[in-house]
Amino acid sequence: MTSQAQHDFMKHQHQQKIWISIYQLLILISFLGIWELAANMKWIDPFIFSSPTRVVTTFVDMLLKGSLLNHIGITLYETLVSFTLGSFLGILIAIILWWCEKVAKTLEPYLIVLNSLPKTALAPIIIVWLGNTTKSIIFTAISVSIIVTIINVYYGFSQVDVEKIKLIRTFGGQKGAILSKVVIPANYANIISTMKVNIGLSLIGVIIGEFLVARAGLGYLIVYGSQIFKLDWVMMSLIILGILATVLYEVILLIEKKVQKIGG
């Protein structure tokens, strides 16, 4: 049984979450209302800045025609593939670096350079190498996220409690046992945290790739819409991207909660 103080604290925390959600909703409604009012009163040019009603009308129109779901599906597919590959390869390379300290020290300056290099500069080169295909978009997205994954996960591996590693070695444990019994379990939180960042970076990489080579997808809608001055398409695509990013992030949070329950 919980004490009255614990009950009051939990009740206060629950009420605080509710009020935060209300404030967030009020901010969103206020923003949309001011945007709609400004467009209707001609404080801003609705042709250039669009408006919530124009965005909704465009959304419904494209949804009924069946083209919008195709664009969303393509971007989502490319994002999930690049996220999965980027996360897997990043963690795998981080394990290799942890396993071989000489390799880690040798590659460290190159990782720093690659991390600081603007990935948009690599995208045109990737397209020349792989051609105007979906592979180029996925590879571009992987290039955006993989270095961050490697650096974050490897740093977490290198910060594991030395005493725990010594204890495993005292009982005759080899490097494989240290990795599976100590290093990886100690980094569950770090890996999940990296995946939270990675999902956003993968989406950014996909949009960069779609800007350059795609013939479908939300990135394509943004570029093509701006070229033919259908800015309602642009605003609608940006809003959908925001929603998509939020949904993907929430999925990672659900995975994190399940991992915490298993760990607990």
pLDDT, position 79? 93
- Residues 25 and 124 reside in one and the same domain: no
Computed over every residue of the chain, the mean pLDDT equals 85
- Residues 26 and 107 reside in one and the same domain: no
User: Measured between alpha carbons, how far is 70 from 117 in angstroms, rounded to an integer?
Assistant: 33
User: Measured between alpha carbons, how far is 175 from 39 in angstroms, rounded to an integer?
Assistant: 64
pLDDT, position 90? 92
Helix (H) or strand (E) holding 5: helix 4-40
- Residues 74 and 12 reside in one and the same domain: no
CB-based burial of residue 140 (10 Å sphere; 0-12 exposed, 13-18 middle, 19+ buried)?
buried
User: Measured between alpha carbons, how far is 251 from 80 in angstroms, rounded to an integer?
Assistant: 12
- Residues 96 and 185 reside in one and the same domain: yes
pLDDT, position 29? 92
Q: Quote the pTM value.
A: 0.84
Nearest to 77 by CA among 119, 138, 139: 138
Last residue of a domain, one of 11, 27, 44: 44
- Residues 31 and 78 reside in one and the same domain: no
Cβ 114 vs Cβ 177: under 8 Å:
no
Cβ-proximal residues to 209 (8 Å cutoff; 6+ apart), any chain: 78, 123, 126, 127, 136, 137, 138, 139, 140, 141, 219
- Residues 65 and 15 reside in one and the same domain: no
Last residue of a domain, one of 26, 44, 62: 44
User: Measured between alpha carbons, how far is 154 from 138 in angstroms, rounded to an integer?
Assistant: 23
- Residues 19 and 83 reside in one and the same domain: no
Tell me how crowded residue 216 is: count the other CB atoms within 10 A of its CB: 16
Last residue of a domain, one of 28, 44, 60: 44
Query: Residue 155 is part of a domain; what is its CATH number?
Result: 1.10.3720.10
- Residues 132 and 250 reside in one and the same domain: yes
Tell me how crowded residue 14 is: count the other CB atoms within 10 A of its CB: 10
Nearest to 145 by CA among 215, 188, 93: 93
pLDDT, position 183? 83
pLDDT, position 2? 56
- Residues 12 and 70 reside in one and the same domain: no
- Residues 209 and 96 reside in one and the same domain: yes
pLDDT, position 75? 93
pLDDT, position 228? 85
Cβ 205 vs Cβ 145: under 8 Å:
yes
Residue with tokens 């290099």: 117
pLDDT, position 240? 92
- Residues 237 and 177 reside in one and the same domain: yes
Residues of the chain with pLDDT under 50: none
Domain count across the chain: 2
Provide the greatest CA pair distance for the chain. Answer: 76
- Residues 124 and 218 reside in one and the same domain: yes
User: Measured between alpha carbons, how far is 211 from 222 in angstroms, rounded to an integer?
Assistant: 8
Domain that holds residue 38: 1-44
Query: DSSP state, 66?
Result: T
CB-based burial of residue 77 (10 Å sphere; 0-12 exposed, 13-18 middle, 19+ buried)?
middle
